[in-house]
Structure 1
Amino acid sequence: MHVFIAPFALLLERYAGYPPQLIQSIGHPVMWFGKLIDYLETAIDKRERTPKERRDAGILSLIILLLVTLAVALLVQHLTRQVPQGWILEFILATPFLAQKELGRAVRAVADALGVSLDAGRKEVSQIVGRDPNALDEAGVARAAIETLAESTSDGVVAPWFWLVLFGLPGIALYKAINTADSMIGHMNERYRDYGWAAAKLDDLVNWVPARLTAVLITAACFFVPHASPGKAWATARRDARKHASPNSGWPEAGFAGALGFQLGGPRSYDGDMVDLPAFGDGKRVLVGSDILRALQLYQAVLGVLFAVSVVVAVLSWMAWW
């Protein structure tokens, strides 16, 4: 069943997204995860503890988050399968854990804003990145948007799909809970270095295969995008991905860079501190708004290839089952 609902979930979320009316009325699953993560941090994490005690507290918080998520997801899945055509409800309920439409919208908004002014571009990109927007010139804004697009293609689209195919609604919900925890507490600063250790490590683990799969999908998508190079996409991903501090983030970022002939990465500012990060790719570095649109074209092609792969996997599974 998991394999069969995945293509429908991809298709529905890509074109319908998550209705704003639902966000206003009941919120979004990521918001629910965030509230639970905040509550657990307040209830369990104590600053006066030793580093080991804080690490243990973070492990306990993560276990509670995952157990609650699993229990709710299993209950919802059970209930959907008690009604006629419940698989339709199941794939509808899986769509909030994907981010195809919103990711594309948010990145396109940066390109549109840059067409108005640099300040508008900085304001828009600040919605999707954590770096200092005022430290960015036009090229920096464009690079930030494309880097976010590349990285989020993996952890916002491909990884949730991957875990949906393997384990259905519980799989995709657990993945999103882990990914949300990592984004909130999986940081290497004084506050979260110990408490967020488990969340960061588990996020690395669950994204290991999807990140590399994303690089493969980017390479395949190049065949459908004018002037994109599949050879350079794969070669750059294999060469440069290891430069990234994360074991996973470099794969989609280097893949996008090689495919489009860009150079991504490099120094950036966070909270006033300049961080010297490695560069991915050896192409054009001075990017502009139109380069974001090229990246979005590749992104749409990746979504098309992923959907095709999902359909093929479903058909092959159906043939094997019969």
Structure 2
Amino acid sequence: MAEAFFTGASGILCLALLLDALVGDPPRIWNRLPHPVVLFGRAIGWGEERLNDAAQSEAERRRRGVFLVALLLSGAAFAGWLLHRAVAGLPYGWLLEAAIASVFLAQRSLYDHVRAVAIGFGEDGLAGARRAVSMIVGRDPERLDEAGVCRAAIETAAENFSDGVVAPAFWYLLAGLPGLLAYKALNTADSMIGHRNARYRDFGRAAARLDDLANFLPARLSAALFWAASLVLTGADPAESYKATLRDAGKHRSPNAGWPEAAVAGALGLRLAGARIYGGETVEDAWMGDGRSEANPDDILRALSLFRHACLALLLAVALSALLLV
């Protein structure tokens, strides 16, 4: 019975989620070896440097961007297939596959990075929190006040729950290691070249559009998991979480990020998103939620509690599906 549970995709994912939550990304390993996502980044940077030629027409740059994404996704999916084949025939191969899958989940690392912002406030005030938040957001930390730093940390926890935890889990369930690796490669490409500036607007269009599509369902599932988490977290408001999501998510400039952000904002009685500054340029966005915009360090800790409960809700949902399939 136990072996049957763990040999299916849902059971392997359960174990991967547990491994990631308990171990995360051990520095002793990844200080010596390049993380797979780092390798994806190097491949994308290498391709972008050679293919993204500003002298080419907009149409040609779009075609080259499509070519790079197609090459990246096919290579990542093939690597995932090779890894699956390599461990499938081994004794306890399901355990090895779970360990591989856990590398591409971000529960522990995301929790630790966001918690570091709250710790920064306690150890060195606003200066310490700004240093910590600069590791996880692209905004200029020196232009963020206390509330801005806190909102940035909470927004990171919300949005990255979707594309760092739920989406990888979703694509693993749908397509195994090939789907998981292809998704992580695409998400890395979007973070590197999927920007709306002059350099990447055309070349990165394919990466940005495909990433939006790949995250469409996971983003909405993430909101539902935050609703479930707010049902059991003391002080959270599940009704307002649901209400804020339906009211505000569609107003976000991203077709996906607004769903988990609005769900968290409503659950915690906050306002998130709004106008933000990236590289000296102001990005105008709608507010998610109608609570306090003056977030504080305690709100970061509340958001992390909600995040933990949402991760547990995901684990229980996957475990239930594994039991039903045994």
Distance 1:308 1:4 in 2: 11
Stretches of structure 1 that go unaligned for 5 or more consecutive residues are none
- State the Cα RMSD in Å: 0.8
Matched AA of 2:163: D
CA distance in 2, matches of 1:273, 1:206: 28
Contact 1:187 1:196 survives alignment (8 Å): yes
- In 1, Cα distance between equivalents of 2:238 and 2:210: 31
Q: Contact conserved, 2:76 with 2:185, CA < 8 A, in 1?
A: yes
Secondary structure of 2:282's aligned partner:
strand
Q: CA deviation at 1:274?
A: 2.1
1:29-78 CA deviation, whole Å, 9 max, x = no partner? Answer: 11010000011112222111000000000000001101111111111100
* Equivalent residue number for residue 129 of structure 1: 137
Q: Would you say the 8 A contact 1:253–1:280 is kept in 2?
A: yes
User: Match for 1:63 among 60, 65, 70?
Assistant: 70
CA contact (8 A) 1:2 1:167 kept: no
Alpha carbons 1:3, 1:166 under 8 Å: kept = no
Runs of 4+ in 1 over 4 A off after TM superposition: none
Shift of 1:87: 0.9
Is the Cα–Cα contact under 8 Å of residues 268 and 276 in structure 1 kept in the other structure?
Answer: yes
- The answer for the alignment partner of 1:211 in structure 2 is 219
Separation in structure 2 between the aligned mates of residue 202 and residue 107 of structure 1, nearest angstrom: 27
Aligned residue number for residue 108 of structure 1: 115
1:46-125 matches, within 5 Å, as: 46-115=53-122, 116-125=124-133
Question: Contact conserved, 1:150 with 1:256, CA < 8 A, in 2?
Answer: yes
Contact 2:77/2:177 (<8 A) preserved: no
In structure 1, what is the Cα distance between the partners aligned to 2:325 and 2:62?
41
Partner of 1:274: 282
Q: TM-score, normalised by structure 1?
A: 0.97
Three-state SS of the structure 2 residue aligned to 1:97 is coil
Distance 1:271 1:204 in 2: 23
Q: Please say if 1:315 is aligned against 2:323.
A: yes
Number of the residue aligned with 1:30: 37
Alpha-carbon offset, residue 227 of structure 1: 1.0
| TM-score scaled by length of structure 2 | 0.96
- Of residues 201, 225, 229, the one that matches 2:237 is 229
**Structure 1 residue 4, shift from structure 2 partner:** 2.0
Contact between 2:261 and 2:272, CA under 8 Å: does it hold in 1? yes
Number of equivalences: 318
Q: Distance in 2 between matches of 1:200 and 1:275?
A: 17
Q: For 1:5 and 1:263, locate their aligned partners in 2 and report how far apart those are by CA, in whole Å.
A: 37
Work out whether 1:147 is the aligned partner of 2:155: yes
Percent of aligned positions with the same letter in both sequences? 47
